[in-house]
Chains A and B, each alone.
Chain A
Amino acid sequence: MKKSAFLGTLTAATISAGFAAAGTLDDVKAAGELKCGVSTGLVGFAAADANGVWNGFDVAVCRAVAAAVLGDGSKVKFVPTTGKTRFTALASGEVDVLARNTTWTFSRDVDLKFEFVGVNYYDGQGFMVPNALGVSSAKELDGATVCIQTGTTTELNLADFFRANNISYEPVPIETNAEAQAQYLSGACDVYTTDASGLAATRATFENPADHSVLPEIVSKEPLGPLVRHGDNQWGDIVRWTLNALITAEELGVTSANVAKSSMEAGGNPEVNRLLGTEGDLGAMLGLDKDWASRAIAVSGNYGEIFEKNIGEKTAIGIARGLNAAWTDGGLIYSPPFR
């Protein structure tokens, strides 16, 4: 009998409106928190500190969306997801937005029925080898043992690359980055392959990072970005334009330090004013208030600030902007205009 009581309570307490009912925006507002799917732990992208506060590049996107919608960047419920559970979590409404370095691919977009709202990191799959191996190109890796992190598109890219170049290899699939790192360092694999950002982050934590190098070949395109469910266009727009607001803010020089001041100055740069809601009312078109973008920027800064704080060159991870520089600096990060 205790069983049914337990279920009864919890049914009463936890039944919440799911995907089909009202819009996600209303659900998020009603719940007072944004449910955001992140990785169970990935250096620089999502990790909890000793107090249980989540930080990282992907986490910052969640916080920005929460700030835009709910007015408070801390009102986020982080749901750790694994490679296997992430899509179901999103499809079943367990999370409202998934920011878990997920590669935008055709089948995920079309067949799995998700909507990628943009790209917050342009990545590509690379290889890391110890210098002692004397390898300077991935094409010299015939017969090598390769450690792969599973649950991603990595296995497929790897199989394609080696098949295309007609060389043999021995794949060692590994669930987490930490284990892959241990295997690689002890020489149980010759090569470690995952997204180049992950390689950089892993290499940064080695005792002697200089003994290892990342090979020049990047064997795949990995545009990583947040995604939402198909079908709720308003919600998709909110997440998309929050991301775009962060990108535009960097382009226009709006930072977390000056966002409060910039929004005061009506009559300055008109695009800044439109973005921050001092001119016009773009927020209302999204179903939000005027200050949505300035709140999103205030919580952890613009795109550039987020990048520098979590994975940039000043951090231990030390990733250069590269492809992820703003388009004005020769990168690919580009936002449609706010008008």
Chain B
Amino acid sequence: MADLSFVRTELVPQKTPPASEVGVIGWMRANLFSSIGNSILTLLTLYCIYLVLASILPWAISPTWGAASLTECRGILHELGREGHFSGACWGVIRDRWTQLLFGFYPSELYWRPILAFILLGVALAPVLFDGVTKKLLLLTAVYPFLCFWLIWGGSIWLPISIILGFVFAIVIYGIVSKATSTLLGAIVAIVTPIIWWLFLAAPFGNLMQSFIPLGIEAVQSDKIGGFMLAILIGLTGIFLSLPMGIVLALGRQSDLPILKGVCVAFIEFIRGVPLITLLFVASTLLNYFLPPGTSFDLVLRVMIMVTLFAAAYMAEVVRGGLAALPKGQYEAADSLGLDYWQAQRLIIMPQALKISIPGIVSTFIGLFKDTTLVGIVGLLDPLALSTNIRADMAWNGILWELYGFIALIFFIFCFAMSRYSMYLERKLATGH
């Protein structure tokens, strides 16, 4: 009898998977309709999305870009047979006023200055934010704050230069004195000299140089600055100036000198315990009382001071988080190398702690940037306050959603981009394990 057992000598060709498991259908089955509950959830979500779009789109699609006033918009919509309160958006207001929402009352022929400052900001931040950028750009980063303020406020170039000179003095003097006598004395002299320079000599020096070699651009007053430019400016100032303060506060909070620690903790907890809006009220109504009689800063500056103090407290907590996340071995290693406190901080601890803190710093900045909408409450022309001002024009009185939508969109674009960057950074910094 022949052997009836059958052994297949070749593999059965692979069958294509059933249509329900691959392609669009398969994907939908796996991701949208994997169970009854999931299917219901999917349908519900789709319905919600439909509801939202159905209420917004017919309103938003509206051929009113060219209109010069709300009445004209109503006329255009009327001709199309679209009547009623929510018949269509009036986009003419955005065409008419978008530069104002971005720049405030800044003279239009000088728009290139804030734009240039903004572009330079990207260049100046590149070596800090991204790897693989030449470190020579750090020089620009160091000079950038002065450059930015000079570009936006204008005036003589000698003023920022005389300020920078203060720093140069500090470094030079520290080098000379600390070599000649002691480091401590060097540090004290290096701190005191530039302060004296800034308080008493910088302004006369600037004026003097200006009278010899007049170099400057048209000055713009701070009441001309508004809109998103003001928001970005306040946010940036807050972050940059609060960073050094925040580091000092964080170190103070971690130090084992009880008085210093107490002061730092009290400051941080006070600032974090009260709403920003009350601090802004203080800036707008009380700060002048605290300064010597006869001093008067303009409001933008006072708000910047308050926002900086505010951001410093949050920054201190971010930096403290970075310090805490550093393995203890790093501190011990620094000690074992015989480094003193400041050397250890400068060479070992801070570079690592700050790197860990960058995502936190970015999110503090996003928060601060969003909080700049509050400055409208004390009379500065932030985007929201400008929208009130635009509505005070007879042509646009009664416009609401178009302005809110535009402002929200711009805020979203900025903040979303920054939060994505911060996430990218988190992934990049999550090294090993």
Interface residues, chain A, CB within 8 Å of chain B? 1-21, 39-44, 46-52, 77-82, 84-85, 88-89, 92-94, 176-178, 181-182, 202, 204-207, 315-317
| A178 and B397 contact, CB distance less than 8 A | yes
Within 8 Å by CB of B241, from A2, A21, A43, A205, lies A2
A20 engages B163 (CB within 8 Å): no
Which of these, B145, B299, B388, B389, contacts A2 with CB under 8 Å? B145
Docked-complex contact A43 and B379, CB < 8 angstroms: no
Instruction: Write out the residue numbers on chain A whose beta carbons fall within 8 Å of the beta carbon of B149.
Output: 6
Give the distance to chain A from B54, nearest Cβ to Cβ, in Å.
21
List residues of B whose CB falls within 8 A of some A CB. Answer: 70, 74, 96-97, 100, 104-106, 108, 145, 149, 159-160, 163, 166-167, 170, 194-195, 198-199, 202-203, 221, 223-224, 237, 240-241, 244-245, 281, 284-285, 288-289, 293-299, 301, 305, 308, 376-381, 385, 388-394, 397-398, 400
Give A157 to B430 CA distance when docked, in angstroms.
63
Chain A residues near B167: list those with CB within 8 A: 1, 5
14 A–B pairs (Cβ distance < 8 Å), ordered by A:
A2-B244, A8-B199, A10-B297, A10-B301, A11-B199, A17-B294, A50-B97, A50-B100, A51-B108, A77-B223, A84-B281, A84-B378, A85-B378, A94-B299
**Residues of A close to B376: CB separation below 8 A:** 40
Q: Are B170 and A92 in contact (CB under 8 A)?
A: no
CB proximity of B393 to chain A, nearest CB, Å: 5
CA distance A44 to B281 in the complex (A): 28
B194:A40 contact, CB within 8 angstroms: no
In the assembled complex, the CB of A150 is this many whole angstroms from the nearest CB of chain B, namely 12
Tell me whether B96 and A50 are in contact (CB under 8 A).
yes
Q: How far is the CA of A21 from the CA of B296 in the complex (A)?
A: 12
Given contacts A14-B297, A41-B391, A181-B398, contact A52 B224 (CB under 8 A): yes
Residue contact A5 to B166, C-beta cutoff 8 Å: yes
Contact call B244/A3, Cβ cutoff below 8 A:
yes
In the assembled complex, the Cα of A182 lies from the Cα of B106 at a distance in Å of 30
What's the minimum C-beta distance from A96 to chain B, rounded to whole angstroms?
Answer: 11
- CA separation between A79 and B289, bound complex, in Å? 19
Beyond the given A11-B295, A48-B393, A92-B289, please list 16 additional residue pairs across the A-B interface where CB-CB is below 8 A: A6-B241, A9-B198, A11-B199, A15-B295, A40-B376, A42-B392, A79-B379, A80-B385, A82-B377, A85-B379, A88-B284, A176-B388, A178-B391, A202-B397, A205-B394, A206-B398
Residues of chain A within 8 A (CB-CB) of B380 are 80
